Chains A and B, each alone.
Chain A
Amino acid sequence: MNNSLLVVLIASGVAYGTPLLYAALGELLAERSGVLNLGVEGMMLGGAVMGFWAVERVHAGTAITLAAALGIAALVGALLASIHAFLVITLRASQIVCGLTLTIFAGAVGLSSYLGNGLNLADIPARKTFNPVFPGGMQRLPVVGPIVFGQNILVYLSWLCVIAIWLYLSRTRPGLNVRAVGESPAAADTMGINVTAYRYAHTLAGGAFAGIAGATITLALTPQWVNGITGGAGWIAIALVIFSFWRPELCLVGAYFFGALQALAPQLQARNISLGPTVLWTNALPYVMTILVLVVVSSGTARRRLGAPAALGNPYVREEH
């Protein structure tokens, strides 16, 4: 029963959706403050390579090493995000072009490749990895075994993050402030909220989450470093933010849905379920589904764009308001 297609897909969805979830949560925070950061892919790759590096260099107990690796991955992500933040918040550059440039700069033809090769991180297995937390017996329980108990701690941490961010945005003063900043920075400014500080803070936080997302891939999912290992996940994460209506709890559902979609093709092949040019449409499915969901979400809220921070993408210059 635990090998049935449905159970396997959901369990895979949770596992492979976790980097998507982290990255989407981070981007959600940045966008809530009004900053669009298209450099998610680049930041994930930065976190992936430096998190891996940390595991190779830090010689301590497993828990400490892995925690240090996550910290370093988050730091690298935040550092990369700070470039974007400085350019778009302080220097008022185009958020879209800046984000794209960040992806090129930090991505598979740029910094992450440079660091990974320069630090000789290729072709070695990760010294320490995130393994399933619960004992084998619990992992074999029907249905909940693989789906819930078969995951590593990063998955459970991500659930805590979803709850924390939801609480932050809906129940705390700073959280409500950041929503104001994203909706109408002029009004927020008048109320005495420091728009610049909030935008910086949330953009950097977004970078930190993206860095952790990258480390999830190189330290948990496929524990090695390879150039370009994220394979486009950053873009799916950005899309996830949109069709989760900027709500963290929907990010979780979306992330797992897409994680499952990505695992669908090989599962169908292995079970000899062939539906036409399987190779083509099952590989294209995650992308096509993303587009379809984006369309449904956008058109349904065509007039009011529920959820999208109204000031998303626009620089705020006090003197102009």
Chain B
Amino acid sequence: MKRSRMVLAALLAGVVALAVAGAGLASRGSTPFKVAWIYVGPHNDGGWSQAHDNGRLYVQKMLGSKVQTTYKENIAVGAQFNQTVASLAAQGYKLIFATSYGYVTPTVAAKYPNVMFEQATGTLVAKNVSEYFGSAEDTIFLSGMAAGAAAKCDTIGFVVAYPIPEVIRHANAFTLGAQLMHPGVKVKLVWTNSWFDPAKEKKAAQSLVAAGACVLGQNVDSPATGQYAESQGIPWVGYDSDSSKFAPKSWLTASVYNWGIYYLKRVKEAMAGTWKPGFYYGSINDGFTKLAPYGPSVTAATKAKIAKYEKMIENHTFYEFTGPLHDQSGKLRVAKGVKMQVLKGGTNSLYGMNWLVQGVIGSPKG
């Protein structure tokens, strides 16, 4: 239709005119090292993405004018990620931290051989792709201990997202910790099918309490569970961040990621030219994961015991995923004395674990 074509021609002409009349070229000058972060959610979600952004801010603070950092948020896995990488590469970003599974594919890595990619929670390692994650399960285990100690009944509620190995091993770690402090306690799961959805999480929390839970925990990202716990006066273990401000009385603790330490290390290496791809699995020892400060109701005895186990994990005299471990049907899955590995062992590896330990009520299939 003539009308529309003219409209579009005029539109293009108009924008070109603006371009010509517009400001000068992009600034050149002394080149700070450009590093970018890509988030799957909003940078201020109070959960997963915000923890990464805190790491970015840490790097920016420590390296000042030597780096130029930026972030892109709400980037979908797939084509949108590729587009974002294309524009970052065009703007001269040399190191990209991709903070969600599935972001970095072999295709996109091959397309930008001069860009260094860091992928969180994944498994792809290539010439310019490195993987990073860490044993949050250790600190989740410790936070489970706090939950078990606080439980005055036999059921702890745990709000979870998707039935994938990462979530399952976290749920298992939490349960093992709770059982250590409170033998025989059961952990009941409700799946929300979302990483971050306050309404669904609150409903899940309500259903757990109505079904008899007297402590709540979570492996999802919003503090909605905690707000509900506070309104009911029951203790709460969070995840991903220190959310005590949402539930000052109910707050027990949470497993928190400290991405900044790894980020700083890698950015420095990239700047110095010593960056090499690999598979990094952080732990309490290198500060990758730790416990958030305790809430008012955690007793001194509990704190002491948790500190004791934390030390033992640090010097490797204790590991929560050591056999004997039984699944929900009672079958022995990991033999006595055997320690589960991160990648090796099929469904008995941390990354492949698709079964729930005995004492968890709920289906590992969602």
Contact = CB atoms under 8 A, between A and B. Distances in A.
Interface of A: 3, 8, 12, 16, 117, 120, 122-125, 131, 217, 221-224, 226-227, 229, 231, 262-263, 265-267, 269-272, 274, 278-279, 283
Contacts of A271: 207, 211
A30 to B, nearest CB: 25
B44 A117 contact: yes
Contact of A279 (B42, B44, B191, B196): B191
B323 interface: no
B361 A272 contact: yes
A272 B188 CA distance: 9
Contacts of A124: 245
Interface in B191-214: 191-193, 196-200, 202-204, 206-208, 210-212
Nearest to A231: B199
B153 to A, nearest CB: 13
Contacts of A224: 46, 198, 222-224, 227, 246
Interface in B319-366: 361-363, 366
A197 B222 CA distance: 44
Contact of B191 (A122, A222, A267, A269): A269
Nearest to A108: B74
A99 B362 CA distance: 43
A117 B157 CA distance: 32
A263 B206 contact: yes
A279 B203 contact: no
A266 B204 contact: yes
Given A117-B44, A122-B42, A122-B46, A266 B188 contact: no
A223, A269, A270 pick with most chain B CB within 10 angstroms? A270
B363 to A, nearest CB: 7
Contacts of B212: 3
Interface string B205-244: 0111011100000000011100100010000000000000
B50 interface: yes
A270 to B, nearest CB: 4
Given A123-B50, A279-B191, A283-B193, A222 B202 contact: yes
Contacts of B192: 266
A123 B53 CA distance: 13
27 contacts: A3-B210, A3-B211, A16-B199, A117-B42, A122-B45, A123-B44, A125-B223, A125-B245, A125-B246, A222-B222, A222-B224, A223-B227, A226-B45, A226-B198, A226-B222, A229-B198, A229-B199, A266-B192, A266-B204, A266-B207, A269-B204, A269-B207, A270-B157, A270-B190, A270-B204, A271-B207, A274-B363
Nearest to B197: A231
Given A224-B224, A267-B203, A269-B191, 16 more contacts: A3-B211, A8-B210, A12-B203, A221-B199, A222-B198, A222-B227, A224-B227, A226-B198, A231-B197, A231-B199, A262-B199, A263-B203, A266-B208, A274-B363, A279-B191, A279-B193
Contact of B211 (A222, A227, A265, A270): A270
A267 B42 contact: no
A217 B46 CA distance: 18
Contacts of B193: 279, 283
B134 to A, nearest CB: 23
A222 B246 contact: no
B242 to A, nearest CB: 11
Contacts of A226: 45, 196, 198, 222
A267 B207 contact: yes
Contacts of B200: 266
A15 to B, nearest CB: 9
Contacts of A270: 157, 188, 190, 204, 207-208, 210-211
Contacts of B210: 3, 8, 267, 270
Contacts of A217: 199
Given A125-B227, A125-B246, A227 B199 contact: no
A62 B193 CA distance: 35
B206 A122 contact: no
B365 to A, nearest CB: 8
